[in-house]
Structure 1
Amino acid sequence: MSAVAERTTIQVRPLTPVIGAEISGVDLRQPLDAATVAILKAAIHQWRVLFFRDQPITDAQQLAFGRAFGPLTPAHPIAEGLDDHPEIWQRKAAEYKSRRPDVTVPSAPPPRDNKGWHIDITFVANPNRYTILRGIDIPAYGGDTLFANLVRAYDGLSEPIKRLIDPLKTVHRTSGYDRAGSGKARRDGRATGPFVSLHPLVRIHPETGEKVLFVNPGTTSHIVGLKEPESRGILEMLINEITRPEYQVRFHWSPHALVLWDNQAVAHAGPIDYAHFDLPRVVRRITVAGELPQGPDGFRSQALEGELFNVLG
C-alpha cells in the first residue's frame, strides 16, 4: 500500500463534543511521515487527547513516535527513567499507594487533592508540551484515566472573572507526592529539586492562540500578590471549574493502548481508583519538550528554584 493510500485510512472518531477522540487506521510500529504527523497534530489541537488502541509497540517505537512531535525530555525532573531508555518513566499502580500513604479504602481525599487531578510537571518553568502514555500491563477492569479540557474551562468562566485572572501570576512547587522516593542521587548527576516556578494563571496556547486555564491542583501553591484567603478562594473556584464533568472524557484502558495528550491544554487524573483494586497495572510515559508558558500580558514563566526541564533529543 502506498503512503498516500495508507494516510487516507486514518480515522478520527470524537468521543465527546469537547474533548477526546479515538484514532484508527495508523500503525505506530511504522515511522510516521510528515502528512500523518500533521493530521495527528490537527486532531490533538481540536480534541486535546487522542486514544490509540491495539498498538503492540516496543519501547524504541514509542520513542520514535514521540520524536515525531518534537525533542524528548528525560523521564522526569526528579525520578529517573529506565536504565536503557532514560526518556521512559514506568509507573505501577502499587506505587500510587506507597506514595500516598494516607489513602486507604474507603477514603476521602485531603483538601484540594481532587483525586489526583494535575497537569504534568508544572513545578518546572517549562512543562512538557505533549505526554504519551502506553499500557504495558493492563487490568481487565479499573485503572481508568480522566482528562479535562482547560481551554473550555477558561471559556466557561464569566467575563468579570476572566478579566480578574488574566493578569495574575501563580507559584507552582514540588509537593510531598512529587518528592516521595527522590532521596537517592540521579545517575545523570542532575539535581532532584526542590523545584519552584512562577507561571501565568492563564496561558496562551503556543500553537492555537487560545487562552488556557493554567492551574494545577496540588502543585499551584498560591496566587502572587493576593492575601491568603483570597488566593485560596480563587484557586478552589478554578480547580472546581477544571474538574467539571462536562469538560471531561474517561478512558478505559485495554491491552496495547496508547494515549497522546496536549499537556498545554489538558489536566488529567489516573488511575482514579487505584486505592480500590490490587490488580497489576503498569504504564510507560514519555514527554515531548515544551517552552516557557506565556500569559495574555506577554509575561513568560520563570524558574524561581531548580533547573529547567532539559532535552535528551
Structure 2
Amino acid sequence: MSATDILERPRADYRRITVEPVTPVIGAEIGNVDLSQPLDPRTFNEIREAIRQYRVIFFRDQQLSNDALKAFGRNFGPLTPAHPIAEGLEDHPEIWERTIDEYRVRRTHNDTLPPGRTPPRDYKGWHIDITFVANPNAYSILYGVEIPPYGGDTLFANLVEAYRGLSPQIQNLIDGLQAVHRTSGYDFGRERKPRRDGRATGPFVSLHPLVRVHPETGEKLLFLNPGTTSHIVGLKERESQALLDLLYGEVTRPEYQVRFHWRPKSLVVWDNQAVAHAGPIDYAHFELPRAVRRITTAGELPKGPDGFTSRPLEGDLFNVLG
C-alpha cells in the first residue's frame, strides 16, 4: 500500500473506534477505546485494520496495569520474553522497562565493539526491533509510565514506502540479496549477567533477506538495521557499505516518517515487520526522568522475494515464554 493508495482508498468503516491519520504515509491516533478492558472481536479487528493501513497507531490516556498491558498485547499473538539479551521485570518477564539512564549508559559503550567490527554510521538510533535473531518479533507495544513535559519523542518510518521510493533498477538489484545482522556494539559492551530464566544471552547472528515480503500483506519492504546489519553477503566491503548507506538514507527520509510526542499514559503499537523507529531521539541532551515499558509478540522467519528464508547463524530463536 503506497501513500497514494492511502489517500485514494476509502477509509475503513470504523464503528467501534475513532481513527485520525497523522500523516498521509504513516501513523494514526486511535480513540474511543479503553484498552484496560477486554476487547470484543469487532473492536480488535478495527484496531488491526488501522495498523494495516497506518503501520503505527497511537492511543492516549490509557490507564494500564502490567497485567492489562500484557492482556492487550496477547490480542496480537503470543508474547515473547522481554528481550533476547536483557531480562524483563522479575514478576512480569514479558515486560522490558527502559529508562533514560540506560540510554546514557549506552553512550559510554558506543566505542566498544567486538574484534573485527568497524563502528557503524550514525543514523540517530534508527532500527527494527531485535533483527539479530532469525525470527524478530511481529508487533511492538510501548507504554509511557513516566513521561516528561517535553523531549523524548519517537520517530517511526514506513519501510514499504522506503522500498517503493527506490528506482526499479535498484529494487531489482536488492531483491535477491541477503545481509548479516549481529548483536550490536552496545550489546557486546554491556556485562551479560546470567538470566533468571536460564536463556542464553548471546551473541546472536542471523542471515536475513535485504528485502522482506510482509507475511500478511505481501508487500515488499526494506529490511536492514544501522549498527546491527554488518554487511551484505556476496559484495565487496566497499560495495556493501555504499549500498547500505544508500538504503539507510532511504529509510530515514522525512517524507516516510511520523513523529510521536509522548504524554503520560500514552501507548503505541507498531508493525515491527514494516516499521523502523528511533527514540528517544534527543537522549544525548536529555536530563528529565523518563520510563517506558515494552512488550513484543512472536514473529516468524522473514522471507525474501526470491523465497529465501531467514536463518540463525549463531544463537537461539526468539521463542515465546513457555
The TM-score, its normalising length taken from structure 2, stands at 0.91
Q: Deviations over 1:134-162 (max 9, x none)?
A: 00000000000000000000000000000
Instruction: Say yes or no: does 1:55 pair with 2:62.
Output: yes
Aligned position for 1:204: 213
Q: Deviations over 1:265-286 (max 9, x none)?
A: 0000000001112100000000
Instruction: Say yes or no: does 1:114 pair with 2:104.
Output: no
Aligned position for 2:154: 145
Q: 2:195 & 2:120 partners in 1: Cα distance?
A: 32
Count residues with an aligned counterpart: 301
Aligned position for 1:64: 71
| 1:42, distance to aligned residue in structure 2 (A) | 1.1
Q: 1:183 & 1:192 partners in 2: Cα distance?
A: 7
Aligned position for 2:305: 296
The aligned runs of 1:90-239 (5 Å cut-off) are 90-101=97-108, 112-239=121-248
Instruction: Say yes or no: does 1:248 pair with 2:253.
Output: no
| 1:113, distance to aligned residue in structure 2 (A) | 2.4
Seq. identity, %: 72
| 1:111, distance to aligned residue in structure 2 (A) | 5.0
Q: 1:250 & 1:10 partners in 2: Cα distance?
A: 22
Aligned position for 1:22: 29
Aligned position for 1:106: none
RMSD: 1.2
The TM-score, its normalising length taken from structure 1, stands at 0.94
Structure 2: segments with no counterpart, 5+ residues: 1-13, 111-118
| 1:102, distance to aligned residue in structure 2 (A) | 6.5
Q: 2:286 & 2:182 partners in 1: Cα distance?
A: 30
Q: 1:124 & 1:9 partners in 2: Cα distance?
A: 37
| 1:229, distance to aligned residue in structure 2 (A) | 0.4
Q: Quick check: 174-183 or 87-96, which moved more?
A: 174-183
CA contact (8 A) 2:109 2:186 kept: no
1:275 to 263, 271, 284: 284
